[in-house]
Homo-oligomer: A and B are copies of this chain.
Amino acid sequence: MNAAPTDKRRLILDAAVRVFARQGFHTCRVSDIADEAGVAYGLVYHYFSSKEQILDTLFLERWEVMLEAIAQADASPRSPEEKLGAIASFIVDSYRHDPDLMKVIVVEVTRAANTFGLTHVDRIREAYSRIASIVADGQRDGLFRAEITPAFAAQAFYGCVEQVLTGWIFDSEPVGTAELERAKWMIVDTICHGLSSARAPEATGPGPGAAAGSASSKSA
């Protein structure tokens, strides 16, 4: 009925996130997960058929949430730029909320072209597809220019986001809130308005001053 006082399955899943993040999927042992969860070895196999299935479960759980977030952003009565901002914001907040989980997804799944990435390629591409659809709407409304294909734009946007996450993931120290917030704005601003200074300044949105300006640049 309710979430039992000890939902061992959840315990294992959460432990796996920490262990995968710390040691990597290939480097960790199932016993590491069991130990981290504080349960017996065999219980892992009571709930999951293999180590792989744990990662699959983790990825799918989270990715469905993300697809839903993208759908909601798209459904809102906002400009395309604001929609992209909502998505970037969601992903960055996901990282803030559970950096280990995002690390696992980015490191072990999204680029794992021979293993998990291949398994989940359709689900992964669904996200790009939905982002591309937002861009296409922007083009139709004349807000986005037509030279850049929506599919490419989606790749550029998502690639930019993931690279930022990757930078944080490689950092030895945790990332501050200010930097997280600034990243949201910079991602959208860069993708929508580019690096070049030869553009109409009024489109900028909240502007760089809005986010806590002090933050580092250690990630470079």
Report which A residues bind B (CB closer than 8 A): 22-24, 26-27, 81, 103, 106-107, 110-115, 117-118, 121, 125, 128-129, 132, 135, 138, 142-145, 147-156, 158-164, 166-167, 169-170, 183, 186-187, 189-200, 202-204, 207-208, 217, 219-220
A195 engages B198 (CB within 8 Å): no
Most-contacted residue by chain B among A118, A132, A166, A203 (CB, 10 A) = A166
A208 to B149, CA, bound (A): 10
Knowing A111-B106, A114-B27, the reply to whether A144 touches B190 (Cβ < 8 A) is no
User: A164–B153 contact, CB under 8 A?
Assistant: no
Residues in B whose Cβ lies below 8 Å from that of A142: 197
Answer whether A167 and B149 are a contact pair too, CB < 8 Å, given A196-B144, A197-B144. no
